[in-house]
Amino acid sequence: MSKRLAVQHAENMRELGGYETKDGRKVAARKLIRSASINHIDEKDQIYLQDYGIKRVVDFRSLEERESQPDKTIPTAENIFLPIFPIEETDTASASPKKMLERMQEGIQATQQMIEVYTHFVTDAHVRGQYRKFFDLVLDNQAPEQSLLFHCTAGKDRTGFGAMLLLSSLNVPQEMIMQDYLATNRYLKKVVQEMYQKAEQAGVPANALHGIEDMMLAKEEYMQTSFDEIKKHYGTIDQFINEGIGVSPQEIKDLQKIYLV
């Protein structure tokens, strides 16, 4: 069971600490935090996160998302911009809710877009390279009582895939990883309501509003799309992390040394 952090003005912010590995160890607490946007946190939240040990914030969002809803600062924490998808417009799928809403208006169903996103997590070389940079940051988080927070807009897709990679590297069972992914749905009710409002304001037809749910919920079929692509191209998740992301067996040992207790 994921532990939600006690912040008042950020959604889906929770620990990866506490998950048990296949060999009976546990992921260390106060080391890896996943979250939705942190553009609304107030001074009380900022102080809480500082005291929690947040030393780095990794922002997976697009440049447009980052500029329109900039992260609030956490005292003593470095903020690192690491957009998972290319900044320049390409034919790569976008996980930006705004871009997805625009494509929904063009008639492209949300489910189709989500399948594209979770396919590109595996097949797109740029995306894989960005997650390699993420692993570099995670490997550099060695100091005790020092936490790294990573987020996108909803903390669901780009963040969810990153969490899957980390938990897989730490030898957490796949069924537990899927539970962590689906736990997002307990924490996004407020965000989904906001997305409905934005969709209505953007002129999305009433009969298409159900697509908001397809876009905003974590669905097993989405992550399974990535698992299927990994199996197709790499065989196993471990091989994907090694060959596709570029994380060496020694780096995996280093990760486990840092994050497992």
Neighbours of 242 (CB within 10 A): 17
- Per-residue model confidence as pLDDT tens digits over 186-219: 898 777 777 778 777 878 676 667 777 888 889 9
Q: How far apart are CA 211 and CA 109, in angstroms?
A: 7
Query: What confidence score (pLDDT) does residue 89 get?
Result: 59
| Dihedral sign for Cα atoms in the order 127, 196, 102, 9 | negative
Whether 159 and 7 have beta carbons less than 8 Å apart is answered as no
User: What is the amino acid identity at position 93?
Assistant: A
pLDDT for res 52: 96
Residue-level length of the chain: 261
pLDDT-flagged residues of the chain (< 50) = none
* Global confidence as pTM: 0.92
User: CA torsion, points 86, 89, 91, 95, in degrees to nearest 10?
Assistant: 60
